[in-house]
């Protein structure tokens, strides 16, 4: 079952500059930001806590990565909305049964979460991600 919005992800050319901007706007201390690299997605991620949700800033690690391709086409901006679930396998099966075609099977994403993406062609042009906390 989908329980809440886990995070909103924004693709950025420069993570450090974007973190300065968003921390100022949100009134968040930069010390509370978690930064990690997700090799499987070829991305550097800056997670800004915001209540029960997070603003996730995505910077490409290399040319040809999905985020680099997104930025080349669209520039900085909204990349996806992530919806939290308590069971990614059950939720993925439910979505497939309803006619959705996930972009891949559930896999590991940022923060050790299990993730699966739904294609924007099926979701009114919004890339949606389902996430499940590890553990």
How many CA atoms within 13 Å lie on the side-chain side of 3? 11
* Residue 17 confidence class, pLDDT cut points 50, 70, 90: very high
Give the pLDDT confidence of 70-102 residue by residue, as tens digits.
999 999 999 999 999 999 999 999 999 999 999
Contact present, 8 and 82 (Cβ < 8 Å): yes
Average the pLDDT over 22-28 and give the result: 95
Average the pLDDT over 5-30 and give the result: 96
Contact present, 4 and 52 (Cβ < 8 Å): yes
User: Where does residue 95 fall: left (phi above 0), alpha (psi -120 to 50 degrees), or beta otherwise?
Assistant: alpha
Quote the mean pLDDT of the chain: 94
Q: Work out the burial of residue 55: count CB atoms within 10 Å of its CB; fewer than 13 is exposed, 13-18 middle, 19 or more buried.
A: buried
Report which of 14, 127, 11, 16 is spatially closest to residue 73, judged by C-alpha positions: 11
Predicted local confidence at residue 135, as pLDDT: 65
User: pTM surpassing 0.85?
Assistant: yes
- Please give the share of the chain, as a percent, with pLDDT higher than 70: 99
Q: How far apart are the first and last CA of the chain?
A: 17
């Amino acid at each position: 079952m989908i329980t809440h919005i886990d995070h909103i992800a924004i693709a950025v050319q420069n993570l450090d500059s974007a973190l300065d901007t968003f921390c100022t706007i949100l009134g968040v201390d930069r010390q509370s930001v978690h930064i990690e690299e997700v090799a499987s997605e070829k991305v550097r991620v800056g997670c800004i806590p915001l209540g029960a949700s997070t603003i996730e800033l995505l910077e490409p690690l290399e040319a040809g990565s999905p985020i680099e391709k997104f930025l080349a086409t669209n520039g900085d901006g909204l990349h996806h909305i992530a919806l939290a679930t308590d069971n990614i396998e059950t939720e993925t099966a439910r979505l497939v049964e309803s006619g959705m075609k996930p972009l891949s099977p559930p896999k590991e994403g940022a923060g050790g979460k299990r993730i699966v993406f739904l294609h924007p062609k099926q979701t009114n042009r919004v890339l949606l991600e389902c996430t499940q906390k590890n553990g």
